[in-house]
Amino acid sequence: MTYTEKIFSFGPSGALQGILVEPRGRRIENAPAILTWNVGLHHHIGPHRFFVALTRSLAALGFTSLRFDISGLGDSEVSQGDTRPDPERAIADVREAMQALTKQRKFQTFVPIGFCSSVDAAHAVGVSDPRVVGVIHLEGYGFRTKGFYLRYPLRFLDRNRWERLIRMRVLGDGEAAAEASQDKERVYVREYPTPEKLQSDIATLVARGAALLLVYVGGDTDYAYKEQFFEMIDERAGSNRVELDFYPNADHTFFIEEDRRRIIQRVGFFLRKHFGATERKTSTTAPGSNRVQPDSSPRVER
């Protein structure tokens, strides 16, 4: 095995539980620690065990990860007397994880990975905390744009859509219709930042030298083409600190294993590109000195 996994209890009275995944052999010196936590109400392993596969794969590349449950979900408990609203508590729990990793493992920098609803805490912590040197959003914020509407008719070239429509409407497949409707109900309702706020947040992150990977999928989402994000935040030129990826055939939770493998590979490539340059046999660098500067050109190791 290329990784070791340990129980990692932290937070007030050790109420927060997670699994610390560390490389067994080669590790990247001063690399940031990677953080993953619950998607919606899912346990911390993620949909289809996505975070287990991801964190183990990152350990093989030399990165340490913590996959954990935020208060009240999975195996973590809510501390007695904690009455904060869930979104506020989630942000505090991510900070607790960072603090515990600093205290117990000397990590100074972090990359939170938000997936669907967990993007909210990843984004909030990323924007406000200078220890965050990279942020990854999987299926994060998406707003319909002019480009989205212009491409909308292209959806009707997809044979899958017609097949679904015929099964549900013409053949009266009530189960499929019910499932499609339940999918809509299940979406975790949350407040998105406005496009202006998102633009300002991204500018803050980029100015700080943080690297961003934003992954979107097609299907029934509000995203239709790779560069839609730049149109969303009215940033035509884009930025070399912001990497976008669009998987038109994948769905919101990466139901197909091949899609999960591609995303995991992509995340690994992104992390190696931005944070893998400090791999050394012996470390003479102070903790945290791998912070990526805006003008730096990190060496990409393949």
Q: Which residues bind other proteins (CB under 8 A)?
A: 1, 5-7, 9, 17, 19, 41-43, 45, 47-49, 52-53, 74-75, 77, 158-161, 163-164, 167, 173, 175-176, 179-180, 183, 219-220, 249, 251, 253, 255-257
Dihedral sign computed on CA atoms, order 50, 52, 55, 58: negative
CA-closest candidate to residue 217, choices 263, 281, 185: 263
**Least distance from C-beta 267 to other proteins, angstroms?**
17
3-state secondary structure of 20: strand
* CA atoms within 13 Å, Cβ hemisphere of 238: 13
Q: How far is the CB of 121 from other proteins (least distance, A)?
A: 20
Distance in Å, CB of 253 to other proteins, minimum: 8
Cβ distance to other proteins smaller for residue 175 or 191: 175
- Which CB sits closer to other proteins, 88 or 179? 179
Taking the complex as a whole, how short is the minimal distance between the CB of residue 188 and other proteins, in angstroms?
14
Q: How are strands ordered across the β-sheet holding 134-138?
A: 3-10, 16-23, 65-68, 33-36, 110-115, 134-138, 211-217, 242-247
Other residues' Cβ atoms within 10 Å of the Cβ of residue 88: 12
36: tokens are 């993953």
Question: Nearest approach, Cβ of 159 to other proteins (angstroms)?
Answer: 6
Q: Which is nearer to other proteins, 104 or 160 (CB)?
A: 160
Nearer to other proteins, 149 or 255 (CB): 255
Q: Is residue 60 helix, strand or coil?
A: helix
Closest distance of CB 221 from other proteins, Å: 11
Query: In terms of CB distance, is 100 or 233 closer to other proteins?
Result: 100
Q: Choose between 44 and 208: whose C-beta lies nearer to other proteins.
A: 44
d(CA 150, CA 17): 46
Nearest-angstrom CA–CA distance, 79 and 221: 36
